[in-house]
Structure 1
Amino acid sequence: MILNKDCVLCNINQDPEQQILLENDHCLYIQKLSEQEVLEGSGLIIPKNHVETAFDLSSKEWSATKELMDQAKTMLDETYAPDGYSVGWNVYPIGGQHIPHAHLHIIPRFKDEPYAGRGIRYWMKQKENKRT
């Protein structure tokens, strides 16, 4: 297994707020306690190997990600009964990736939240985001 000693996602157990909820041979599904107040039920699927972006995942890591995504959805449906989901990858700092270890966001969405109906591209489509 390839790990980076300075990577927070390679060293999940060093952060007491991180909980591993699901696991397979290649990936983990985690939730961070402090993020549950606003993003109830949200979590990340991360490869166990230190892989920088989604573009760098092996075929086994892709398959394992899909497997955990299905398991996470079942668990989240049973626990929170969300009305929808936002699922996505951020890649490189300009793309919103602040931790250089690939991670897939799984975010349950609810019809009573203030930004219900606004998907992952909503903010990028605003006129204020047009390149000059």
Structure 2
Amino acid sequence: MTECIFCKIIDGSIPSAKIYEDENVYAFINIMPVTKGHLLLVPKKHVENVYDFSEKEASQLFAVAPKIANALKDKFKPVGMNLLQNNGVAADQSVFHFHLHFIPRYDETDGFQLSWITKEAEYNTEDLQQIAAAIREEIGE
């Protein structure tokens, strides 16, 4: 994808603060970090979102995630970490090349907020079981 900013970072035509690279994935510091150490892990192959991954491609990327997370934990001693990944405009995806954010958390006032309003009043136990059954059916379980 010649217009994809992450593809350009991977091929070296846009500079980055590289963290990790192997034949399948590339990790680099986010140029607009929320906290110290905020980085992105991306597949080298252009994959728009999680829906486009093969199982093999996903496993190659997620196999590296603990290595990256533990390096952040050991080096910067955050008290927590958010892993965040958005798919589609409605989910706030802004770069349409799959990327997994690693956001080290240092305290509750470090600049990152993630919140939602739960819908527990809208779903009873039977509804939840029906939703689970529908998803299992789609998976083939």
TM-score (norm 2): 0.73
Q: CA deviation at 1:113?
A: 2.8
Instruction: Pick from 66, 71, 75 the counterpart of residue 70 of structure 1.
Output: 66
Instruction: Pick from 3, 13, 26 the counterpart of residue 6 of structure 1.
Output: 3
Residue matched to 1:129: none
Residue 35 of structure 1 pairs with residue 27 of structure 2? no
- Pairing 1:74-85 to 2, within 5 Å after superposition: 74-85=70-81
Q: CA deviation at 1:52?
A: 0.6
The answer as to whether partners of 2:82 and 2:105 remain within 8 angstroms in 1 is: yes
The answer as to whether partners of 2:35 and 2:110 remain within 8 angstroms in 1 is: no
- Whole-Å separation in 1 of the counterparts to 2:3 and 2:104: 30
Rate the CA distance shift 1:50–1:125 in 2: closer, same or farther, 3 A. Answer: same
Rate the CA distance shift 1:55–1:111 in 2: closer, same or farther, 3 A. Answer: same
Gaps of 5+ in 1: 127-132
The answer as to whether partners of 1:26 and 1:64 remain within 8 angstroms in 2 is: yes
TM-score (norm 1): 0.77
* Alignment root-mean-square deviation, CA: 2.0
3-state SS in 1 of match to 2:17: strand
State the number of aligned residues.
116
Gaps of 5+ in 2: 119-141
- Pairing 1:1-132 to 2, within 5 Å after superposition: 4-12=1-9, 13-16=12-15, 18-32=16-30, 34-36=31-33, 38-111=34-107, 113-114=109-110, 120=114, 122=115, 124-125=116-117
Rate the CA distance shift 1:114–1:74 in 2: closer, same or farther, 3 A. Answer: closer
Q: Larger % of strand: which?
A: 1
Q: CA deviation at 1:58?
A: 1.6
